Structure 1
Amino acid sequence: MIVLTGKSLTLDDVGRIVFQNEQVVLCDRQREKLKQNREIVEEMLQDKKVMYGINTGFGKLSDHRISDEDLEALQLNLIHSHACGVGEPFDEKISKTMVLLRANALAQGYSGVRVELVQSLINLVNANICPVIPQQGSLGASGDLAPLSHLALVVMGEGEVFYQGKRMPSMDALQGNGLTPLILKAKEGLALINGTQAMTATGVVAYLEMEKLLHQGELTACMTMEGLRGIREALDADLHRVRGHQEQIDVAKRMRHSLQDSKLISSQGEFRVQDAYSLRCIPQVLGASWQTLHYAKEKLTTEMNAVTDNPLIFSEDWKVISGGNFHGQPIAFTMDFLKLGIAELANIAERRIERLVNPQLNDLPAFLSPNPGLESGAMIMQYSAAALVSENKTLAHPASVDSIPSSANQEDHVSMGTIAARHALAMLQNTRRVIAIELICAMQAVEYRGVEKMATSTREFYNKARKVVASIRKDRVFSTDIERLTAWLKESDASQVMNQIGEVENV
């Protein structure tokens, strides 16, 4: 059971809640703070105090005063008019993460909402009811308005959800779990949609997937080193110590552990003095990719526990302040930076694929084919990897440098952070396919060298992967192999991968 305080949610917590269905409960102290904060809103309404989005219109319409009898209609109209998302829906895991993060943000007690609203979001999380939320339509400032409006529809018993493997009307899933839709009171519609939870949720899932893929990429690179008889000295601890980057040092340490009993890697001067950069510089390149991930962890953790609503109600001082905490610039920059780390994981892997299949660069059968000439073997797998890497380069263009004014130029600078996060996730899927292709080629290469000579860690990884994709005995439709292995990499348990690659000290 994870207790939501609004301030203490971790990436590990999100992983347990979203991927392992751990239950969530609202902190008692925050429950009381929410009640106090809501009382302030009610008293200010009674005093006829003008408050943005509570008894005024929105955006450029903020100068329009709303009568007391229309306050509930104002919130309903807000959600209906702003539910303009288009395109394919977000993955259920991202949708569930959005609900969790919105509940966590509101739980801090600065948004003027009722306890019942936060509890309704927690109920959705615990019942694994995931709103159907279109991916496109957010500018990443004024909050993720369009995506979060589709989330808000479900709270009201409208819209659609994913539940128990099916897409259905939200009321069907709510009633099936004994849940009642809410009628949104003053401020609550705005509180639901004024935030960065679409981009942050997408970023969190991207982080969790990239962390696992980096470990898988390291282990696959170790197998490639065995297939190409890479030089062990490139992983020497002293070499990396004097460079000083901790992530580089850690990658080299894990790779040394994974290859410690390998009889396939070579020593300096045994076959050649130096390897190509795609083998020799694995710790330097992947270490830098880990740096982008660590930066993302810091910023995502902050944003997961941030108050990103507008306006904010400070109960102690009876203040209602309109600001811009909904602006997604920190996450936009974070996701654009993360995209560089993803791109380079794929770039260097594709270069190793080329070294595995190119007969001019190794002493293996041409294109790893059992019958070169008559059969093409892995030739076109490298083409696919190159295409995926090239596509990543276009997706890596920073979304955060773009801005288009909206709301009659009232909202004249926006972050495009949700686009950046979505592109990061698309790049991860491309990169996972590149790693799958490298793994297919590396497994074929070590078979030519002798599987019995592999290191214990890489041989265990080889044995598991061989249950998914068979050895290449003749040409076949390799697309099926690539997709099957890609799915296996995505579904593999992260802790097993990390244990296998050697999360050890003193190596």
Structure 2
Amino acid sequence: MQNIILTGNTLTLEDLVEVARHGATVELSEEARQNVITSRAIVEDIVAKDKVVYGITTGFGEFSKVKISQEDCAQLQENLIRSHACGYGPYFTTDIVRAIMLTRANALSKGYSGVRPQTLETLIAMLNKGVHPLVPEKGSLGASGDLAPLSHMVLPMLGLGEAEYQGVHMSGKEAMDKAGIPIIKLDAKEGLALINGTQVLTSTGALAVYDAIGLIKLSDITAALSVEALRGITDAYDPRIHVIRNQRGQMVTAKNMLKLLEGSTYATRQGELRVQDAYSLRCVPQVHGASKDTILYVKEKVELELNAVTDNPIVTREGDIISGGNFHGEPMAVVFDFLGIGAAEIGGISERRLERLINPQLNDLPAFLTKDGGLSSGFMITQYAAAALVSENKILAHPASVDSIPSSANQEDIVSMGTIAARTARDIIDNVKRVLTTELMAACQAIDFRANDGFVLGKGTQPAYDVIRRDVKFMERDNDIEMYKELDKITALIDSREILTAVEKAVELEY
């Protein structure tokens, strides 16, 4: 099992996935530990000298005007967590919770937050031993950090709230006891340091980006199979077309399509059967390419944020405490809105290819890809379901970041709604996955109707077809199957990345 060393500066998206989804353990680097110790000493000096500093010896938000006595500084931090833990709705999945814990620990390890080393080690121990706080999805404005959900993350550290341990939901205290992790009592600034950051929105969006990278590669594979099923024209992917536009994603996609279709006799050349294809086949490089560029841009922003300090106030190396606005989620809110739009477009073009596969007015295949039309509906309603997901994505793709509602008596008068942006991007990507699932299944069905003509699949499409046909067979008639179960099998192949892995052993795909 991989072990990730936290320095505060080197966490990658791939590291995040290893910890969140594959159980990699986490360890604090010695340099980071020393930075944390130095930062903590500054906070303790402020408390000892009874200086007035926001969040340490004052209340929060509008209550920053209220001075807190030295003896109440610790109670202030616990009160903060208890009152701010007011999230609502379904809980984040375990992988997102683990990502949240990891990114918060990484931010604290930079040594600008003023927590004690033992507090940070408690969070790391929970991650390593599998104590996962139950964190409701809803309730964050994405400014002043993800206050409500991060407070739910902290509750079990104090023996409060609820957590999952070894797959069972229980009280936070019971989970900590079972894992052998002592609960803690927060000291000055620690509550604020634990919850004043963008880690919920960043972690949710980061995992969505990772999934989007896999889906954008899969979308090229899916499109290539549809090109073969519809005997599409490969001239549209000629590099001479794309280099003169000079859009990176477009050129990469065209290259991917030619690699995938290399050696295919299903695919045709310009003028062989028709002069040109419909946009959903001909413009794959332009549409998929735009989404690739979107996803790459968002990934770059995410990896900056994974190693960012998003606290307020900041404990500087020089010993100053500075109030600022690094907790504001706007830099990530706008990019996650962008991610959702880019992903939605992949679902949109996929559904249009699906329509071309099943509509007898648009191809020379049996209507709705069934031998038994009339008695069997075949793939007719799969397009309905895909169209519903695409339409839902159009609603979800409305940007969250353009909205704001003032909070804390107008002290916090412009907020990001970045956590909503991240959650909706995640949901869009999940919907797109099912649309691509449906197109994959339909394309393989259509290809099988042409199998007796002796055609050969492409170098990259053959491995994809083989993996799918291992688990999902040609559908003779409706009474042979329950459609959702067949679709679920392909969705599982996407989730496990088996299709993508098989193809990338044959051809290298870019994104």
**CA RMSD, Structure 1 to Structure 2 (Å):** 1.6
Q: Which residue of 1 aligns with 2:489?
A: 484
Instruction: Give the one of 262, 267, 271 matched to 2:264.
Output: 262
Q: Which residue of 2 aligns with 1:61?
A: 63
Residues 66-465 of structure 1 aligned to structure 2 (within 5 Å): 66-316=68-318, 318-450=319-451, 453-465=456-468
**One-letter code aligned to 2:116:** R
Q: Deviations over 1:180-211 (max 9, x none)?
A: 11111110000011000010000111011111
SS in 1 for 2:169: strand
Range with greater deviation from structure 2 (469-478 or 27-36): 469-478
Range with greater deviation from structure 2 (51-60 or 348-357): 51-60
Cα distance in structure 2, aligned partners of 1:267 and 1:27? 58
SS in 2 for 1:291: helix
State TM-score, norm by structure 1: 0.96
Shift of 1:315: 3.4
Cα distance in structure 1, aligned partners of 2:143 and 2:197? 8
Q: Deviations over 1:83-103 (max 9, x none)?
A: 000000011111000000000
**One-letter code aligned to 2:486:** D
**One-letter code aligned to 1:479:** Y
How has the CA–CA distance of structure 1 residues 83 and 299 changed in structure 2, closer, same or farther, with 3 Å as cutoff? same
Cα distance in structure 2, aligned partners of 1:310 and 1:375? 62
How has the CA–CA distance of structure 1 residues 13 and 6 changed in structure 2, closer, same or farther, with 3 Å as cutoff? same
**One-letter code aligned to 1:453:** V
Contact map agreement 1:356 1:442 (CA 8 A) in 2: yes
Q: Deviations over 1:48-82 (max 9, x none)?
A: 10111111111111111111221121111100100
- State the identity as a percent: 49
Range with greater deviation from structure 2 (469-478 or 259-268): 469-478
Cα distance in structure 1, aligned partners of 2:187 and 2:500? 44
Q: Which residue of 1 aligns with 2:507?
A: 502
How has the CA–CA distance of structure 1 residues 495 and 46 changed in structure 2, closer, same or farther, with 3 Å as cutoff? farther
Shift of 1:400: 0.4
Range with greater deviation from structure 2 (9-18 or 491-500): 491-500
Shift of 1:17: 1.9
Unaligned runs of 5+ residues in structure 2 are: none
**One-letter code aligned to 2:346:** L
**One-letter code aligned to 2:469:** R
Instruction: Give the one of 16, 24, 28 matched to 1:22.
Output: 24
Range with greater deviation from structure 2 (283-292 or 250-259): 250-259
How has the CA–CA distance of structure 1 residues 415 and 305 changed in structure 2, closer, same or farther, with 3 Å as cutoff? same
Cα distance in structure 1, aligned partners of 2:78 and 2:279? 59
SS in 2 for 1:3: strand
**One-letter code aligned to 1:331:** M
Cα distance in structure 2, aligned partners of 1:437 and 1:221? 12
Range with greater deviation from structure 2 (126-135 or 452-461): 452-461
How has the CA–CA distance of structure 1 residues 442 and 39 changed in structure 2, closer, same or farther, with 3 Å as cutoff? same
Shift of 1:263: 1.3
Shift of 1:494: 8.3
SS in 2 for 1:401: coil
SS in 2 for 1:415: coil
Unaligned runs of 5+ residues in structure 1 are: none
Q: Deviations over 1:301-345 (max 9, x none)?
A: 1111110011111132x2111111100001100000011111100
State TM-score, norm by structure 2: 0.96
Cα distance in structure 1, aligned partners of 2:361 and 2:284? 22
Cα distance in structure 2, aligned partners of 1:75 and 1:452? 69
Contact map agreement 1:212 1:497 (CA 8 A) in 2: no
How has the CA–CA distance of structure 1 residues 174 and 303 changed in structure 2, closer, same or farther, with 3 Å as cutoff? same
**One-letter code aligned to 1:18:** A
Q: Which residue of 2 aligns with 1:470?
A: 473
Cα distance in structure 2, aligned partners of 1:254 and 1:133? 40
Shift of 1:158: 1.9
